[in-house]
Structure 1
């Protein structure tokens, strides 16, 4: 709901700015004494009328929505000027295109900073899980039958098939189950009672690479490092960030492109 409100507010501000460039109509200026009285009222923390309450409510809603984008601060005086210019018909300082460009660049930059901060925090928080995965893979590759590719993907042939091998652009029909290193299962087509088809180039990199090694009719076990799985962010509530994953995959059929 907050994101919807934000989109409405931002598009409204940009649209109003554009509209105001086409008009020069102005409302009568508010007397200075009135402005001083309202400022004093707000400084005392009081909302003396329905208009005050409504105005303040819009301000908090817009502020809360903007904050979800990752923005940490704005020039509030200039923000208020933009709102006022749009409402009163004063000449706006930016065209619609300029306003949209400013908004887009600010949100993109703020989101990037926010994401980097989250990743840095997660790297510290999940450092033990990263080490657990690295230690597991280091030991696992020494087991007989386990092979390691150049990317770091490890696999073990459980059943060797004789069919055709898929390409990355093919769709495949598979049965599978996935677990964390602690044995907790997070997904299984076997439990759902039916295999699944999907394009091989639209899954995690470990699957895209690994299933291409399998002739149809094969069953492999994959040991996938976090960077070939769901990376620094994980997936939902069941797969934490930096998780090394284990999959048993049975390639039933190569559907083709």
Structure 2
């Protein structure tokens, strides 16, 4: 099984918007002129070249991938020392092979410590919501409240739907919104989190609803970094616009008989 240590840099590379090897290279951008208003703004970031900015981007991505460890400032200095020694091909200060297996153990311990209070806060939030007028449980987990009755058909779990939605954390922080993109989202109900699959199936076309989704029917203990912590309870306002009827694939033409 691939360990976190061996997958870390792979995750960094995969997360980077790399160009395909056989794709044509873009034409070089013209040099910024002195009167180019973008040039002074770019210089304010403290970097002297795009190579330096790319290196910073690499470091930032590595930091995002180790974020779930919740390192302290002192621990980050230790991590920095390890990165530097390895990058400069210096001898390791310890037997890395001996301690590498403990990396995943450390991650599990840190994540469990962070997830427990998040789950507790989410449970309290959901229980309070559950006592509001008109709230009912969603099959298999979560809570549902009708904001506007719909007059159309109700989707089945196997259907594809078109919706507008807004997703927030318990404190109201928005992490996703089709309204912000000015474009509805279309997806199969079986391809989303269980709270959505079962919650949207309670709606009718033209209706609006509020879903409160505990982590066990959302993104679990892993969350979706950086916005959604492990164990987070999520809140969605959903507007069901349409049940999308997908065209069946056309049968291939049979060869004419001779």
- Structure 1's 2 and 195: CA in aligned 2 closer, same or farther, altered over 3 A? closer
TM-score of the superposed pair, with normalisation by structure 2 = 0.55
- 1:159 equivalent among 109, 133, 148: 148
Structure 2 partner of 1:248: 237
- 2:113 equivalent among 124, 147, 158: 124
Q: How far 1:138 moved relative to its partner? A: 1.6
Q: How far 1:114 moved relative to its partner? A: 6.0
Q: Over alpha carbons, which structure has the higher Rg? A: 1
Which deviations, in whole Å up to 9, do the C-alpha atoms of 1:39-86 show, x marking residues without a partner? xxxxxxxxxxxxxxxxxx9xx69x9xxx8xxx7579xxxxxxxxxxxx
Structure 2 partner of 1:225: 214
SS in structure 1 opposite 2:202? coil
Q: How far 1:186 moved relative to its partner? A: 0.6
The alignment of Structure 1 onto Structure 2 pairs a total of residues equal to 161
- Structure 1's 175 and 148: CA in aligned 2 closer, same or farther, altered over 3 A? same
Provide the C-alpha distance between the structure 2 equivalents of 1:240 and 1:183, rounded to a whole number of angstroms.
14
SS in structure 1 opposite 2:198? helix
Provide the C-alpha distance between the structure 2 equivalents of 1:129 and 1:169, rounded to a whole number of angstroms.
32
Structure 1 partner of 2:29: none
CA contact (8 A) 2:114 2:230 kept: no
Q: How far 1:152 moved relative to its partner? A: 2.6
Q: How far 1:234 moved relative to its partner? A: 0.8
CA contact (8 A) 1:119 1:232 kept: no
Q: How far 1:139 moved relative to its partner? A: 1.8
Provide the C-alpha distance between the structure 2 equivalents of 1:72 and 1:206, rounded to a whole number of angstroms.
42
Structure 1: 4+ residue segments shifted above 6 A = none
Gaps of 5+ in 1: 5-56, 75-109
SS in structure 2 opposite 1:241? coil
CA contact (8 A) 1:166 1:256 kept: no
- Structure 1's 169 and 72: CA in aligned 2 closer, same or farther, altered over 3 A? farther
- Structure 1's 126 and 193: CA in aligned 2 closer, same or farther, altered over 3 A? same
- 1:194 equivalent among 170, 174, 183: 183
The answer on 1:215 being equivalent to 2:201 is no
- Structure 1's 141 and 116: CA in aligned 2 closer, same or farther, altered over 3 A? farther
Provide the C-alpha distance between the structure 1 equivalents of 2:125 and 2:10, rounded to a whole number of angstroms.
41
Gaps of 5+ in 2: 1-7, 12-85, 247-258
Structure 1 partner of 2:159: 170
- Structure 1's 205 and 72: CA in aligned 2 closer, same or farther, altered over 3 A? farther
